[in-house]
Structure formats: structure tokens, C-alpha cells
Amino acid sequence: MTRPASPLAKDDSAIRLHSLRFRQDGQEWIVGRAETGTFVAIPQMGMRVIEKIQDGRPLDDIRRELESRSDQPVDVVAFVNQLIDLGFVAAVDDRDVAQSPLQEPSLPWLRPRHVRWTLSPVPAALMATVVIVSLGVIAWDPGVFPSYRELFWTDHQSLNLLSQALVMWALILVHEIGHLATARAADVPARIRLGTRLQFLVAQTDVSGIWTAPRRHRFTVYGAGMAIDLTIASLAILAIKTLRVMGVDAPSVLPIIVLMVSSMIPLQFLVFMRTDVYFILQDLARCRNLYADGSAYVRDVAHRLTRRRGESASPAILRLPRHERVAVRCYAVLLVLGTSVCMLVVGAITIPTYVRLIADSIHTFLVTESTGAAAEAVVVVSIILGFQLTWLSAWWRRHGERLRRWFRRTRTRTRMTG
């Protein structure tokens, strides 16, 4: 169904804005709606226009006042029409502006008052204490840290895979709830969804609305997942050590938790995939969208190398402030190298491993006379294929429309040249 056209602003229009959030960032202001996750940077003049609109002033009055103070033309109508396109305007002359339905936040029953304590320094101090104590235990007794062999606690490969998958996704869920709870404490309607980062199937929490929160709150939200991961692993280490002192064997789930977290934390430092550490790095570098700008820079460089070798600079990157240009160039190197290595790993390790596991399981299913072995082979294939189909579904949900547009353009060009 086609969305009805939104009314356009005119010189004498009265404008009603949605509830907007603001944060000053140098000479500009970050403005946006937490409900939609849409945020933009606007100049001081644009902020003055928004403030006067919120005071109920018509656009022609705003324009005359600003022009009298600045001695230069101010196109207030064009600016407001851009705000309409961004979804920031609720009504023009009492006519509602059409907008897409808002996405429902995850766990809508969770209110900011329920989780406000997560932004306090006290939980962070307690978690840091647990992690430090566990590191001390490992330093005192390195043998308490489990070996990778403890992932294979049974001779049944299907049970090993199933237990690892269950523990991993339980940890991922708790990790994402950490992001969601701290974002909700900052009154941001965060959403958890499945997504993809290159070959990885991931759960992602959309916390775009955190842009206008204080920096300490932003860093708390970004780091909440890793802090919870480390705390859970540290508690597992302490439990393993305590049980050993008591002469009791630790249940297999505890070593699996420690090893799963040990494999998940390093992945957060693959910043070319927009991980938790990426958002911390982006904020520290004072960049607005490091991934998008870095990707655009890589495309510009590739375009110049293949088509216009005489150009001396990338048009896209020249629009950025100087400090962002430096960060984007450095990040672009990580983006290219990291993506290339991930693709090599997929081709050289991941795909051959999956093919071998599936082939071995199918062979076992066809030749074995044991019902248990046949059932185990079915479980192994189901886990692998289910994981890959879930990845494909999440990938298509994100990229499918872009791929369909590419196919339509290709068919159109083929017909024209044919």
C-alpha cells in the first residue's frame, strides 16, 4: 500500500514537531527521534529554527527574525521540508504528516524506572570486582581455566554441538538484554533482532536513540553486554575453583560457559563489523557513522583506481570534518583487511568444515545399523542447516530489497541493450 503524500511547508505554515531529543556536538547539534532511531547533525541556525517552531511561531515570522539578525537569507521552508522527510514533523497547518508505523520495542513492559540502577557506578564496580578476583584466581591456579577439550564432554557429537549452541545463545540473549536494559534506563526504546555480520549470525540490539544521551550513559550501553559476559564467565571460574576445593567435580556447563565467553569477547574487537567495541571507538573518535563513511571511502577509492585515476581526493570524505577524515581513512584500512580475512576464513575453513561434518553425518546415516547413530547424524545435520538457514533469512531481510532492485536494474539494462 502506497503511503499518502505528506503536506509540504509554506511560508505561512504552522508546524508541530514530534518529541525530539537534542545534544550539542561542537558547533553542531545532534537532533532526532528516539522512537525511530533517526538522528542528524544540524548547524546552530537549524537549531534556532527548531526552538522557535517549538514556541509556536509561524515560519514567515521565524524567517524574518533570523534574517534580521544574520543579515543573510535563511530558507526556513526548505529546512522544514527536510525535517518532514526525516519524520520529525507531526503536522503542517493541522494536517498530520504521514509516517511509517513505529516498530514495537522489545520487552515493552520494561520501564526506565525498573532499570535506572543499571546506569549507576555501583553495578559496574561490583562486576569489575568479580572479574578482578577471578583473574587473581587464574593467576594463582592457571589450571582452573578449562581446556578446549572440555567442550567435548561426551562422545556424542550431536550432544556436544547442542550443548554449545544452547549455552552460546543463552549468553547472547543475556548480553543483548544488558544492552536493552541500560538503554531503557536512559529512556531509549531499544529493540533486539537477529542480524548478520559477514559470515556471523548475531543478535543485535538497536540503541540508535542513545545518540543524545550523556557520554557516560552511551558508553555504559555500549559496554553492558561485554561486562555481563565477563561477569558470568568470572562467576563460573569462581564456582569451578570452589567446587574443586570442596573435592566436587564441576558440572560440564561451567567450562562451556567460560570457553564460550572466551571466544565471544575477542569477536567484539573485530570493529570492521560494527561490534560493541566499534561503537565505543566511533564515539571516542567523535565520528557520526564510521562504518558508512568508511565504506563510502573504500568505494570512492576503488572507483578512482578503476575509472578516474587523475582524481586526487575522495568527494565523499571531503564533506567530513578534518578529524573525521583521519579516522575514516584509518578505519577503511581495517574494513578492507578485516573483511578480506573473514572471507578467506569462510572459504578456507568454515565451508569445508561444514561440508565435512554434513558429509560424514550423511554417510553415517546411510551405512549405520544403529538407530542412535542415525539419530545423532540427523541432529548434527539439522543443527548445521538450521543455523545456516537462519543466517540466510536474516541476511535476506537486511539485503533482499537491495538485491531485488539490482536485479530489476540489470534486467532493464539487458532489455535496452538487447
Residue 254 has pLDDT above 90, yes or no: yes
Q: Which range of residues forms the domain containing residue 209? A: 112-284
When comparing pLDDT for 299 and 126, which is higher?
Answer: 126
In terms of Cβ atoms closer than 10 Å to its own Cβ (0-12, 13-18, 19+), residue 55 is exposed
Q: Does 403 reside within a domain?
A: no
Q: What is the dihedral of CA 389, 391, 394, 398, to 10 degrees?
A: -120
User: Of all residues in the chain, what percent carry a pLDDT higher than 90?
Assistant: 37
Co-location of 154 and 277 in the same domain: yes
Q: Are 229 and 175 in contact (CB under 8 A)?
A: yes
Q: Does 361 reside within a domain?
A: no
Least confident residue range of 55-59, 110-114, 115-119:
55-59
Least confident residue range of 97-101, 299-303, 350-354, 394-398:
97-101
What's the average model confidence in pLDDT over 282-288?
A: 90
Co-location of 86 and 129 in the same domain: no
What's the average model confidence in pLDDT over 241-259?
A: 92
Task: Note the pLDDT tens digit of each residue in 327-343.
Answer: 999 999 999 999 999 99
Q: Which of 241, 264, 284 is the last residue of a domain?
A: 284
What's the average model confidence in pLDDT over 360-385?
A: 87
Residue 384 has pLDDT above 80, yes or no: yes
Co-location of 76 and 128 in the same domain: no
Q: Does 2 reside within a domain?
A: no
What's the average model confidence in pLDDT over 21-39?
A: 87
Task: Note the pLDDT tens digit of each residue in 68-84.
Answer: 887 778 888 888 889 98
User: Which pLDDT band holds residue 344 (cuts at 50, 70, 90)?
Assistant: very high
Co-location of 119 and 252 in the same domain: yes
pLDDT score for 399: 79
Q: Which of 236, 252, 284 is the last residue of a domain?
A: 284
Co-location of 74 and 185 in the same domain: no
Residue 308 has pLDDT above 80, yes or no: no
Co-location of 122 and 263 in the same domain: yes
* 31 φ/ψ angles, rounded to the nearest 5 degrees: -130, 140
Q: Does 262 reside within a domain?
A: yes
Q: How many domains does the chain have?
A: 2
Co-location of 160 and 268 in the same domain: yes
What's the average model confidence in pLDDT over 134-156?
A: 91
Co-location of 185 and 91 in the same domain: no
Q: Which of 237, 260, 284 is the last residue of a domain?
A: 284
Question: Whole-number mean pLDDT of the chain?
Answer: 87
Q: Does 330 reside within a domain?
A: no
Co-location of 161 and 223 in the same domain: yes
Co-location of 156 and 265 in the same domain: yes
pLDDT score for 217: 94
User: Which pLDDT band holds residue 99 (cuts at 50, 70, 90)?
Assistant: confident
Q: Does 270 reside within a domain?
A: yes
Q: Does 69 reside within a domain?
A: yes
Residue 206 has pLDDT above 60, yes or no: yes
When comparing pLDDT for 395 and 6, which is higher?
Answer: 395
Least confident residue range of 61-70, 303-312, 378-387:
303-312
Co-location of 60 and 174 in the same domain: no
Q: Does 175 reside within a domain?
A: yes
Q: Are 31 and 88 in contact (CB under 8 A)?
A: yes
Residue 134 has pLDDT above 90, yes or no: yes
Co-location of 156 and 181 in the same domain: yes
User: Which pLDDT band holds residue 2 (cuts at 50, 70, 90)?
Assistant: very low
